[in-house]
Amino acid sequence: MDKFIVRGGNKLFGKVKIQSAKNSILPLIAGSVIASGKTVIKNTPKIRDVVIMCEIIRFLGGKAEFLGDDLHLDTSLVNSWSLPSNLTSEIRASLFMVGALICRFGYASIKRPGGCRIGERPIDIHVDALKTLGVKVDEGEEIVFSGKIINSGVINLRFPSVGATENAMMTALRGKGVSTIKNCAKEPEIEDLQKYLNMLGANIKGAGTSVITVEGLSKNNSGEIVFTPYPDRIELGTYLFALGAVGGEIEIHAETFKNSQSVINFFKDNACKIHIINDKIYNISISDTLRSFGKVCTGPYPAFPTDLHPQLVACALNANGITAVEENVFESRFAYANELKKFGAKIGVYGKLCLVEKSVLRGANVVAGDLRGGASLLIGALSADGQSEIKNAVHVDRGYYKIEEKFSALGAYVKRVSY
């Protein structure tokens, strides 16, 4: 296993290249099964979740390989609709394969998917959505979905779940007529999936709004599809909160900011200065006086993203005043707080509310328990006095590719070692 060794106290200076969004790439890999041909996904990081999804594609009979920074998929020979339990138990994103497999074969079989332990993440929203389209679901040791004949209809999601929205979109492509999905998630990653599926020959409208319409896929595009997803707004936010915690100045391409206004506004109203160069590059600098962020409530897009909540808390430990964070998506998201306290963090957790005070942080030995919580520990260690050790780097690797190299390139001391 790997761990990070971090020596805090260095400001961050330099350029940051933001990878394509993990939360776009994973459903796109699943969607490639519908393509039944070749797909190239540009600027794809070799993060653990992507690697596992590629292994699933290979298990089903397809091909997946990296050529430089691009992921090349060929699903023309996919011949199975039963997903491997040893892989699906590792990542929740394997659930995206269900809609794609139903669309192609009329069936899908999966054991309950894994992922970060950040609270209850039931799949009943997915199941109810697919049942509305006429899919029969047998929930035994394995969950078997039977949908040879898909009905067009109206799906009312009781919560704007990203995954359920995407599964419903892909499943509905097998039907005839037009299906309507209401109370959809509005995340930009859903827009990416719509664009990709439309490149296959689908007619999907409304991504980014609360209502999406899906027309049955009558003809599939047989040519190679090259797709560039949105930049990863969560990775961008992680580096911005690290910058807020330690200070400095970083340079980022402007197009990266398109879907990150909820985060950018936090810093614009605080100690952040943004300098635009040639309308393409942003230089973002943070002064030495960071103020508290007030009260922040997580929620579905465009609200503040739950996946940046832990990083915000780690940054707020360096801000004057008290920051309150209300978590409205995952009830167990505060598990990282006890690890931050080992640095000397003043954090109080009261149900779904977290209160954060400016703290004097000192190096400590901590353990990452999930992906975003691990990122928050890195930010805490970067702003702590002395050396820290963060075990279970594998959790961080699920969403960030060679994060230690990116931070090192900005002047931080972050090393990866095996133990």
Q: Which CATH class is domain 22-217?
A: alpha beta
Catalytic member of 54, 116, 184, 272: 116
Q: Which CATH class is domain 2-19+231-418?
A: alpha beta
Q: Cis (ω within 30 of 0) for the bond into 302? A: yes
d(CA 84, CA 297): 37
116 is catalytic: yes
- pLDDT at residue 114, as a whole number: 55
Query: Rounded to 5, what percent of the chain is helix, strand, coil?
Result: 35, 30, 35
- pLDDT at residue 265, as a whole number: 77
- pLDDT at residue 272, as a whole number: 76
Amino acid identity at 195: K
Among 210, 314, 186, residue whose Cα is nearest residue 262: 186
Q: List the 136-139 sheet strands across, edge first.
A: 107-110, 143-146, 136-139
Delimit the CATH 3.65.10.10 region(s) of the chain: 2-19+231-418, 22-217
Per-residue pLDDT of the chain (419 residues; tens, 9 = 90+): 999 999 999 999 999 999 999 999 999 999 999 998 899 999 999 999 999 999 999 999 999 999 999 999 999 999 999 999 888 888 877 888 999 999 999 999 998 765 444 444 468 899 999 999 999 999 887 899 999 999 999 999 999 999 999 999 999 999 999 999 999 999 999 999 999 999 999 999 999 999 999 999 987 877 899 999 999 999 999 999 999 999 999 988 867 777 887 787 777 777 778 777 776 677 888 877 888 999 999 999 989 999 999 999 999 999 999 999 999 987 778 989 999 999 999 999 999 999 999 999 999 999 999 999 999 999 999 999 999 999 999 999 999 999 999 999 999 999 999 99
CA 139 from chain center: how many Å?
Answer: 27
Contact 12, 411 (CB under 8 A): yes
d(CA 64, CA 53): 9
- pLDDT at residue 279, as a whole number: 63
Which residue, chain included where needed, has tokens 């915000």? 312
Among 241, 280, 288, residue whose Cα is nearest residue 260: 241
